[in-house]
Amino acid sequence: MSNNDLAVIVLAAGKGTRLKSSLAKVLHRAGGRTLVEHVVRACGPLKARETVVVVGYQAEQVTAVVEPLDATAVLQQPQNGTGHAMQVAKRALGRAKFAIVLPGDAPLVRTETLKELITVHRNGNAAATILTAVLVDPSGYGRILRKTETTVSAIVEESQLNDEQREINEINSAIYCFTLEKLWPALAQVKPNNKHRELYLTDAVAAMNAKGDTVLAHVAADSREVLGCNTRADLAEVDRIFREWKRNALMDAGVTIQLPETVLIDPDVTAGEDTVIEPGVQLLGKTKLGERCTIRTGSVLNDAVLGDDVTVEPHCVVVESRLENSVLIGPFARMRPGSHLKTGARLGNFVETKKAVIGEGTKVPHLTYLGDAKVGPKTNIGAGTIICNYDGFHKHPTNIGRGVFIGSDSVLVAPVRIGDGAYVAAGSVITENVPADGLGIGRGRQVNKPGWASKKRRELAAAGQPKKTKKKSKRRKTSRKRK
Ligand code: UD1
Ligand code: MG
């Protein structure tokens, strides 16, 4: 389908009073993106000649979201209704013959549905074609007054419904295809005859009918696609639907998701075949999972890139980090930005890394912090090892070679290098480089005193128990404190 006679117009200038928020409605997020971004992205594959977004409330922030998507923002100030927003959009339009018009707050619409709408409009030679839906609960939406089985005589807004019209459950999605030379004269006749004194785009439908123009309706096959987000409850419902669609797409691609309704996955996340995602997992940002990975319960991955056969045990947090094939982390591991585990490396419980490259097959099994560090392959980092990478002013690097053994409870004060094959004795505070194959010991020497303990016990027994009066005076002190 060639659409070089088509413009896309997204109406996104309103505040969204019903959300009770300082943030513009179209900047609220559902399904991992702002509402307006979903709408503009859905129109991308239509390959229209131009995309115009009408902005007003928090115009700068909305513009910053849509301009990278190749849309042009035009300012509507003040916001006098959807009809007025269209008059503003007109100023920015080139020579398009048709326009797809969408509200910025109905983010579930799919490209396929928009293509159908355009086809119905072109084939029917209509002045306007409205995307409608039949809802069990139509409250809050404008209702469709049918003229014939295929045509529409008017749209009546919720606030202007009479009792009979209130029973109509076919609603206006506020997504339309217009023939622009028919729309502009009809819109010019619309008056702000409502309690908000706004120009309603919906009133253009009755004006078109009065001129004898054809207005068609196209009913969306899946009524969920047209849901608008006017309230927090609407946002939650739309988010739930997006998440469900994303999980279904991954399951169709061969991913196992246990208790799917508990798993939150952002739209750009990918996962390979036979990967298993346990309940309560969040996969966010541009996270990529390879094949046969297991992400166990309660883990949160954000912009994480995993190879194949990676296991993330329960309750790990991984941000902007890379885990190569066959890596295992957790439970309770935290990988902060810039962490990179090479093939077969392991991080155990209560291990934190930041800007740390950990070599192939290296093990960091328990209770450790590694920051600004490079660790070679086949090295073992003992329990409780801490890198002091920060001196209060600057961060310093630590370099640990291949096949190194760091004894438990050691502190490595950066900058410091531990050469290949070296040992660090348990409990050391290492402030100087340790040469390859050497042993670094940085602790007080142990002294044993034979018989010391029994001598001490005899001394204590001879001295007797402490006097009771002392204890009493202590108690009095504490009771006074409590008062
Ligand atoms: C609108 C429709 C209603 C439809 C519903 C579907 C009108 C008058 N009513 O109602 O028939 O059932 O959508 O979701 O169109 N906007 C502007 N400038 C303005 C006013 C609004 O750009 O001056 C934008 C808003 O930012 C929003 C969109 O237009 O993205 C729709 O406005 P909204 O206030 O949400 O209209 P609804 O009451 O939902
Ligand atoms: Mg709305």
The model's confidence at residue 467, banded by pLDDT at 50, 70 and 90, is low
Summarize pLDDT for 225-246 with one digit per residue, the tens: 999 999 999 999 999 999 999 9
SS3 16: coil
Give the pairing type, strands 300-302 and 282-284. parallel
In angstroms, the CA 275 to CA 362 distance is 24
Q: pLDDT of 39-96, one tens digit each?
A: 999 999 999 999 999 999 999 999 999 999 999 999 999 999 999 999 999 999 999 9
Reported as a single tens digit per residue, the pLDDT across 235-293 is: 999 999 999 999 999 999 999 999 999 999 999 999 999 999 999 999 999 999 999 99
Instruction: Measure 35 CA to ligand 2 centroid, in angstroms.
Output: 11
- The CATH architecture one would assign to domain 6-226 is Alpha-Beta Complex (3.90)
Atom of ligand 1 nearest to the CA of 228: 14
- 307, pLDDT greater than 60: yes
Judged by DSSP in three states, 7 sits in strand
Verify cis geometry, omega within 30 degrees of 0, for the bond prior to 185: no
Please name which ligand lies nearest the alpha carbon of 175.
Answer: 1
Question: Which of left, alpha, beta for 40 (phi over 0: left; psi -120 to 50: alpha)?
Answer: alpha
> What are the φ and ψ backbone dihedral angles of 380, each rounded to 5 degrees?
-120, 125
Distance of CA 69 from the midpoint of ligand 1 (Å): 22
Give the three-class secondary structure for 285.
Answer: coil
- Give burial (CB, 10 Å; 0-12/13-18/19+) of 255: buried
Give pLDDT, residue 2.
74
Does the beta carbon of 207 lie inside 6 Å of ligand 1? no
Asked if 103 and 131 count as a contact pair (C-beta separation under 8 A), the reply is no
Q: How far apart are CA 381 and CA 13, in angstroms?
A: 56
Tell whether the model's pLDDT for residue 440 goes beyond 70.
yes
DSSP strand pairing (143-146 vs 152-156): antiparallel
Here the tokens at position 429 are 């505070």
| Residue type at position 132 | T
Q: Which ligand is nearest to the CA of 14?
A: 1
Atom of ligand 1 nearest to the CA of 84: 23
State the angle between helix axes of 82-92 and 180-188 in degrees (0 to 180), rounded to the nearest 10: 130
* Separation between Cα atoms, residue 420 and residue 436, nearest integer Å: 5
Residue 82 CA to ligand 1 center (angstroms) comes to 6
Q: How confident is the model at residue 468 (pLDDT cuts 50, 70, 90)?
A: low
Ligand 1 contacts CB of residue 73 (under 6 A): no
In the chain, the N- to C-terminal Cα span, in Å, equals 84
Any ligand 1 atom below 6 A from CB of 84? yes
Beta carbons within 8 Å of 444's beta carbon, 6+ residues apart:
none
The number of beta carbons lying within 10 Å of the beta carbon of residue 4 is 11
Tell me which H or E stretch contains 251: helix 232-252
Residue 233, burial from CB neighbour count under 10 angstroms (0-12, 13-18, 19+): exposed
Contact 395, 371 (CB under 8 A): yes
Catalytic residue among 315, 366, 394, 396: 366
Owner of token pair 């560090």: 373
| Angle, alpha carbons 114-261-105 (nearest 5°) | 35
Determine whether 366 is an active site residue.
yes
Q: What is the mean pLDDT of the chain?
A: 95
Average pLDDT of 440-465?
A: 94
- Domains of the chain by residue range: 6-226, 247-440
Which CATH code fits 247-440?
A: 2.160.10.10
pLDDT of 366 higher than 90: yes
215 bridge partner residues: 128
Ligand lying nearest the CA atom of residue 102: 1
Total number of residues shown for the chain:
483
Distance 417 CA to ligand 2 centre (A): 61
Q: How far is CA 122 from CA 74, 99, 132, 427, in A?
A: 27, 11, 17, 79
Taking CA atoms only, the protein residue closest to ligand 1 atom 16 is 14
